[in-house]
Amino acid sequence: MTSSLQKFIKHLSFLTLLTLFIGCNNDTPKTEIKSPNFTTENKNAPIGMKYIPAGNLQMGGDNDQADKNEYPKHGVEMSAFYMDETEVTNAQFAEFVEATNYITVAERPIDWEEMLKSLPPDTPKPDDIVLAPGALVFTPTPQPVSLDNPANWWVWTVGASWKHPEGPNTGLDGKDNLPVVQIAWEDAKAYADWAGKRLPTEAEWEWAARGGKENMIYPWGNESVNEGEAKANFYQGLFPYKNDEKDGFAGVAPVKSFPPNDYGLYDMSGNVWEWCSDWFDFEYYSKETAKKANTIGPERAFNPYAPYQQEKIVRGGSFLCNDDYCSGYRNARRMGSTPDTGLNHTGFRCVRDAE
């Protein structure tokens, strides 16, 4: 490998992963958990969606795990809306692709000139093989590694896409009911537009995740994710090289494998990160517009740790999160990811305005 190619791959990992810092397939099905008695009526919600009532969201960090970008905690008046009860599945996304012949970002050759806009100016152009269609795939390490460099466990994989989430030799057989992954932000938006829906705002996402429970750490309350019965799909063990799989899954789990929150929403904690419509502004909560009713987020992205990048919000954590690394499954945890990024732990769900 040439030195210029090594440098590019280093920058590519930096571009996608520095601020994600998200470490934070098991195909064995688990019994679907039925919904409890929810705290709201479903208000004639469209099929597969739940009614999320209006109210006042206390948005922001709830405990000492909270990052600086989760403060200050602030109130946001929220209107009612509908939200998908699960993350969009492989079967649902396949229906969209069949109807539209849509080609996802990960399936397209990389536009070097466009990518260069988000890279340090001295980044050399790599060999054409590196610009072939692909995406990032989590690869466990053989031994403990520094958690300061996500490139230790994320590998750029030519041929990875939503159809081949872990590389060209993997597929979707028996995985219709798993969340679709390797989805870039524009892919998620395209699906939402086709379905007559939209991506949730960050405020809508957090309001829905809390399920009517004010100032709680998780969608289920304050009981630690590591205590009691399995409540979400996350990483148990020593990240990123030893997963104890106490929740029954090494990777993405079928939707509805774990109990829903009190609004009837599944996997608002763990499983896969979910795209929101907002730009990621590290300092947004300190701005007056953050307190605006039904805030739609900032006009532009800002991340002091990755100044060349324009990022969109992702929420909810994934099967790779744990308390030693990112605690992404907390209600308030917020991350940013570049809109053209595909990873095998990132998907989405949609919302629709209430009539």
Answer whether 222's CB lies under 8 Å from 216's CB: yes
- Residue 247 backbone class (left: φ over 0; alpha: ψ -120 to 50; beta: rest): alpha
- Could you tell me the CATH number of the domain that includes residue 157? 3.90.1580.10
Mind listing the pLDDT tens digit for each residue in 226-264? 999 999 999 999 999 999 999 999 999 999 999 999 999
Distance of CA 274 to the CA centre of its chain: 3
Q: Which two tokens stand for residue 147?
A: 């958690």
Q: Which residue in the block uniquely carries the two structure tokens 């907002």?
A: 278
Encode pLDDT of 43-63 as tens digits.
789 999 999 999 999 999 999
Bridge partners of 198, per DSSP, are: 351
Q: Which two tokens stand for residue 31?
A: 């019994």
Q: So what's the pLDDT on residue 117? A: 79
Residues forming beta bridges with residue 81, ordered by sequence position? 52, 353
pLDDT value of residue 40: 54
- Kindly tell me the burial class for residue 247, based on how many C-beta atoms sit within 10 Å of its own C-beta (0-12, 13-18, 19 or more): buried
Q: Can you say whether the dihedral through the CA atoms of 67, 310, 134, 123 is positive or negative?
A: negative
- Give pLDDT, residue 60: 98
Residue type, 301: A
pLDDT attached to residue 29: 34
Report the pLDDT value the prediction gives residue 5, as an integer from 0 to 100: 36
CA distance linking residue 15 with residue 22, whole number of Å? 13
Residues 162/137, Cβ–Cβ less than 8 Å: no
pLDDT at 206 (0 to 100): 98
CB of 261 closer than 8 Å to CB of 35: no
**Short-list 182, 178, 180, 181, CA closest to 156:** 182
What local confidence, expressed as pLDDT, does residue 41 receive?
63
Could you list the residue range(s) of the whole structural domain that residue 150 is in? 1-355
Q: Say how many domains are in the chain.
A: 1
Low-confidence ranges of the chain (pLDDT < 50): 1-39
Q: Which two tokens stand for residue 59?
A: 């948005």
Length of the chain, in residues: 355
Give CA torsion, residues 110, 10, 187, 166, to 10 deg.
100
| Per-residue pLDDT tens digits for 184-210 | 999 999 999 999 999 999 999 999 999
Q: pLDDT at position 113, please?
A: 82
Q: Which of 200, 267, 278, 262 has the alpha carbon at shortest distance from 231?
A: 267
| DSSP, residue by residue, 63-77 | STT--GGG-S-EEEE
